[in-house]
Amino acid sequence: MIPVQGFSDQSVAVLGLGRSGLAAAQALRAGGARAIVWDDSPRGREAAELEGFEVRDLTRPGAFDGIAALIVSPGIAHLYPAPNPVIAAAWDAGVPVDNDIGLFFRSFATDDWDGFDTQPRVIAITGSNGKSTTSALLHHILAENGRPTQLAGNIGRGVLDIEPAHDGEVVVLELSSYQTELARHLTPDVAVLTNISPDHLDRHAGLGGYFAAKRRLFSEGGPDRAVIGVDEDEGRYLANQLVADVSDDRLIRVSVTRKLADGWTVCAKKGFLTENRRGRQVASIDLRAIAGLPGAHNHQNACCAYAAARTLGLGPRGIEAAMRSYPGLPHRSQVVAERDGVTYVNDSKATNVDAAAKALQAFGRIRWICGGLQKEGGLAGLLPHLGSVAKAYVIGREAEDFARQLSGVTASICTTMDHAVAEAMAEAEPGDVVLLAPACASFDQYDSFAARGDHFAELVTDALH
């Protein structure tokens, strides 16, 4: 655990008692603060009481008397589409609002570091798609190359739940826009942006607000090094803002759509990763045979993880060897089974149009299980990428509307995952890929994308055995 610094003998309120909220309360107490907690859920409040925390209804008048700060769980909206009433009350009382990410960055460095031979580093990774795979892959690369490392944030453990740093350790953080938008302290040594596409637009009042939340990772503290995917305008803009000119080695630009001629670049084209520096190619990796990284979208993830590893001085050959042993993440282009020439792939994490489009581009003839709770913007971004779809099997409460938008594609309105899997398996032929890439959130039928992916994998496995 990382004891929170700066609040000794002060009362700090915590709103939301999920994984990050309860860990924040524990870390505050470990640092000498009095954590006062609240959650709308009786179950959350009961769990906190069992941990010995004071539960206070923060919605009542005067609740913020004597409170030094309010720490908010990432799922709680603080500005758009409307401020949470507790957060609004904190504003009115003049109480600073922060989250566990902000607490982490103010508390991670300690006096113990003075005795280390090599200072610990923090690499923070954000983006619309691929940040989980990029984070897990980088963590794997570091571990395989003998570097002490921890993985935390939006993946793995909560940021305050990890162990205090060891000599030379690298902490890899996956950070969502929900986490970056509110943190008062954002000071990673290396910051990575994989890509930007429309997502969580209601939470951020549009694409501009969403990008602004991501951009804070690069602007609040100023990382020593930045890795930026420049295949979208937002990435190109951000890269341009960070350095004086293209030759500045504090920036590595990443692309999987074109060759970047100048500066320090990492690109992937036709399955080959190349690193160029000052006009010369210094390394190349054939990504096509790496089973844990299928498709162009994973090649972008590989480029970002490779670039981040290079900022730490790791050699290309050691990075390549680690990539070849990377097992992949559940629910991200995860091969669940192969039988009679048919491959079954779980990409339940493809919860938006851009992620699903990338999944559709990664395979040949596809029997596509899709649908769920549609996000703002519709499905227009998918239409140019449906050429490999032999048939769509649409699930979710909005299945009929989803199917109507798939012009030119044969679609079966299945509604449930059981029906979709059974029909797709019955119709699949050798060479087909039965792909779950929903392009939608899961909450109309499942608690999470992971629960949806697990159900798909369970149905496939049961049917094949």
**Of the candidates 173, 170, 139, 147, which has an alpha carbon nearest to the alpha carbon of residue 158?**
173
Cα–Cα dist 86/16, whole Å? 11
To the question of whether residue 131 is assigned a binding role by annotation, the answer is yes
Residue 331's contacts (CB-CB under 8 Å, 6 or more residues apart) are 346, 347, 348, 349, 449, 450, 453
Is residue 268 within 8 A of residue 275, CB to CB? The reply is no
**Of the candidates 361, 385, 304, which has an alpha carbon nearest to the alpha carbon of residue 128?**
304
To the question of whether residue 145 is assigned a binding role by annotation, the answer is no
Cα–Cα dist 461/17, whole Å? 35
To the question of whether residue 130 is assigned a binding role by annotation, the answer is yes
Residue 416's contacts (CB-CB under 8 Å, 6 or more residues apart) are 395, 445
CA distances from 90 to 14, 74, 87, 286, 342 (A): 11, 16, 5, 53, 56
To the question of whether residue 271 is assigned a binding role by annotation, the answer is no
Can you count the helices (H) and strands (E) in the chain? 15, 20
Amino acid at the residue 324: R
To the question of whether residue 132 is assigned a binding role by annotation, the answer is yes
Indicate the burial class of 281 (C-beta count within 10 angstroms; 0-12, 13-18, 19 or more): exposed
Indicate the burial class of 109 (C-beta count within 10 angstroms; 0-12, 13-18, 19 or more): middle
Is residue 332 within 8 A of residue 135, CB to CB? The reply is no
To the question of whether residue 127 is assigned a binding role by annotation, the answer is yes
User: Which residues participate in the annotated binding site for ATP?
Assistant: 127-133
User: Which residues participate in the annotated binding site?
Assistant: 127-133
